């Protein structure tokens, strides 16, 4: 990316539409993400790129580049072309990033899985993308095997470690006579670089496509910000867009990442902060709550300058508690999406921004360069003004390229604005506040659950004639599942109906789709004017907050 003239975001307001400057500090390189990364790897070859947060072991840019080149050459040897897809499914370690970088160098698309995904969703997505090669750690191997089988697909499996059945990743790292003359492919910037999995308006998981151009446009937004990206702490895997974004940011700026697998050893996760002095921390509300339960009394977090909380929201009293603990850091909510990248953020480079950080505690931040915003009444499509609640819609050069083998038309309104599926309002200073989600997908801990899959199984029962699965707010796990159903004959329903339905789901889908909030029978599931289940009305009908 090239330095260009930068103008800070100064929004203009016209008939409810907020528009910002289209200028960024960095101009995307049309030769692709792989070219950009390769150039940075060469430039910062002697710098530390990774630190193992549990052991302190370090890994340089040059070392990662060498391994990435060797894997890229092997992928070419295996016959992969820019029309192919590779996948990873692994916790974080020094080599989990290597296949991603290797694929970018040769113009191959990458799409990553998480072994905690629900089996039915994973199989559906595996069927869509059909990866030629899957890089997997031993903990995720059985998940990948069962997912391939359920999707009726085959792939070359490469294991990060010992294996008697598949290819050992480390056997592919032998020196190659061609590695010193290797150069990344300069690709068409419209070619797909990444596929990420997220929800669509149908409630089924979708494969979101980001081209090289769009991804670099998305990265240009956080690169505008005056944030301490020198040493980043982020435990998310490549299944999450945040992981890939932060890798891109630190590589382009010559920074370092503290490698932390999100596991049950909370004490070691805290020690990784105390021992290796991150300056920037990205964390989800669930992860923060989970770590907070076993926070050591004597832990030092003074090195952290920004705690960026994304992927959900928090009650005000809880957010204030974290602000008090990370007393030397900016602690704030942010908002982004796979389809649009970073959308809202708290900028504190001015005195006004610092004042707003303490005054507007529950805001997700303000507008960013290159993005236009509007709030719309979801029933009437009327554009709303300040302090009025409606769906946030966006226009930007950094919007996704569409869904993989699926139509994305329904994700945009008639004027071409992207429908985020989230209800917000903004104040007179253009700071936005999250209200609730319209999207059908349900967030349980850090997993995204498709209610449609559960509903389809419920509809196989003879006694159920309509089913809608919703998420009920939970103060630790984000949301718990509840099934709202209509039955064919209420007089024939047995006393143990709820128990039988839960058992039925477990038999059909496994224990990852538990209806923790139970099954509720209603006379009629409410509909919106557009003929869809009225999720907001159902949530109001059954709203609870379980305290644990």
Residue 476 sits in a domain of what CATH number?
A: 3.30.300.30
| Cβ 192 vs Cβ 109: under 8 Å | yes
8 Å CB contact between 18 and 12: yes
Range of the domain at 520: 450-542
- How many domains are contained in the chain? 1
DSSP annotation string for 403-470? ETTB--GGGB-TTS-EEEEEEEEE-TT-EEEEEEE-SS-EEETTEEE-HHHHHHHHTTSTTEEEEEEE
**pLDDT at residue 25, rounded to an integer:** 86
Torsion over CA: 153, 154, 158, 159 (sign) = positive
**Residue at 5 is within a domain:** no
- pLDDT computed for residue 530 by the predictor: 47
Write b or e for each residue in 294-329: b if 16 or more Cβ atoms lie within 10 A of its Cβ, otherwise e. Answer: eeeeeeebebbbbbbbbbbbbeeeebeebbeebeeb
Other CB atoms closer than 10 Å to residue 71's CB: what's the count? 26
Structural domain includes residue 204: no
Whether 503 maps to a domain, the answer reads yes
Tell me, yes or no, whether 454 lies in a domain.
yes
pLDDT at 8: 58
Stretches where the chain sits below pLDDT 70 are 1-9, 199-204, 263-264, 528-532, 544-548
Residue 496 lies in a domain: yes
CA–CA distance, 208 with 201 (Å, rounded to integer): 13
pLDDT tens-digit series, residues 106-163? 999 999 999 888 788 899 999 999 999 999 999 999 999 999 999 999 999 999 999 9
**pLDDT one-digit tens code per residue, 76-106:** 999 999 989 999 999 999 999 999 999 999 9
Measure the CA–CA gap between 511 and 204, rounded to whole angstroms.
Answer: 19
Dihedrals phi, psi of 46, to nearest 5 degrees = -95, -5
Q: What is the pLDDT of residue 119?
A: 82
| pLDDT value of residue 275 | 96
Does the residue 492 lie in any domain? yes
Q: How far apart are CA 547 and CA 447, in angstroms?
A: 20
Q: Give me the helix-helix angle, 285-292 and 316-325, nearest 10°.
A: 60
Q: Is residue 510 assigned to a domain?
A: yes
Q: Report if residue 382 sits inside a domain.
A: no
pTM: 0.85
What pLDDT, on the 0 to 100 scale, is given for residue 3? 44
């Amino acid at each position: 990316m090239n330095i260009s003239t930068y103008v800070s975001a100064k929004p203009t307001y016209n008939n409810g539409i907020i528009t910002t400057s289209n200028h960024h500090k960095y101009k995307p390189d049309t030769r692709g993400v792989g070219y950009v990364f390769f150039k940075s790897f060469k430039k910062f070859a002697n710098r530390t790129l990774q630190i193992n947060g549990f052991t302190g072991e370090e890994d340089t840019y040059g070392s990662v580049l060498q391994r990435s080149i060797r894997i890229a050459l092997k992928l070419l040897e295996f016959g992969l072309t820019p029309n192919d897809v590779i996948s990873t499914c692994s916790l974080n370690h020094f080599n989990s990033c290597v296949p991603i970088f290797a694929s970018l160098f040769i113009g191959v698309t990458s799409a990553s899985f998480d072994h905690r995904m629900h089996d039915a969703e994973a199989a559906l997505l595996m069927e869509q993308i059909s990866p030629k090669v899957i890089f997997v750690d031993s903990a995720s191997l059985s998940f990948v095997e069962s997912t391939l089988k359920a999707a009726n697909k085959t792939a070359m499996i490469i294991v990060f470690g010992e294996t008697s059945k598949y290819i050992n990743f480390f056997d592919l790292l032998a020196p190659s006579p061609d590695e010193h003359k290797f150069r990344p492919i300069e690709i068409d910037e419209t070619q797909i670089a990444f596929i990420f999995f997220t929800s669509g308006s149908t409630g089924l998981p979708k494969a979101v496509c980001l081209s090289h151009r769009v991804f670099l446009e998305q990265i240009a937004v956080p690169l505008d910000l005056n944030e301490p990206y020198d040493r980043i702490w982020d435990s998310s895997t490549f299944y999450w867009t945040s992981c890939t974004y932060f890798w891109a940011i630190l590589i382009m700026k010559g920074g370092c990442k503290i490698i932390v697998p999100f596991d049950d050893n909370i004490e070691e996760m805290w020690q990784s902060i105390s021992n290796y002095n991150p300056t920037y921390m990205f964390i989800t509300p669930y992860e923060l709550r989970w770590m907070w339960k076993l926070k050591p009394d004597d832990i030092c977090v003074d090195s952290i300058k920004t705690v960026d909380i994304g992927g959900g929201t928090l009650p005000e009293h809880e957010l204030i508690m974290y602000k008090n603990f990370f007393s030397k850091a900016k602690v704030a909510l942010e908002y982004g999406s796979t389809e649009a990248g970073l959308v809202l953020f708290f900028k504190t480079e001015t005195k006004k921004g610092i004042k707003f950080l303490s005054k507007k505690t529950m805001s997700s931040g303000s507008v960013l360069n290159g993005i236009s915003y509007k709030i719309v009444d979801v029933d009437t499509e009327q554009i709303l003004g300040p302090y009025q609640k409606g769906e946030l819609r966006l226009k930007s050069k950094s919007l996704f390229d569409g869904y993989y083998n699926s139509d994305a038309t329904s994700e945009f309104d008639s004027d071409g604005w992207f429908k985020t599926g989230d209800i917000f309002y903004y104040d007179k200073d253009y700071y936005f506040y999250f209200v609730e989600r319209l999207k059908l997908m349900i967030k349980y801990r850090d997993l995204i659950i498709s209610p449609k899959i559960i509903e389809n199984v419920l509809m196989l029962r003879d006694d159920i004639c309509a089913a809608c699965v919703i998420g009920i707010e939970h103060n630790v796990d984000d949301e718990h599942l509840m099934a709202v159903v209509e039955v064919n004959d209420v007089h024939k329903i047995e006393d143990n109906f709820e128990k039988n339905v839960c058992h039925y789901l477990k038999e059909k889908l496994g224990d990852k789709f538990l209806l923790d909030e139970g099954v509720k029978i209603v006379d009629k599931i409410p509909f919106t004017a557009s003929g869809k289940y009225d999720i907001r009305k159902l949530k109001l009908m059954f709203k609870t907050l379980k305290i644990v």
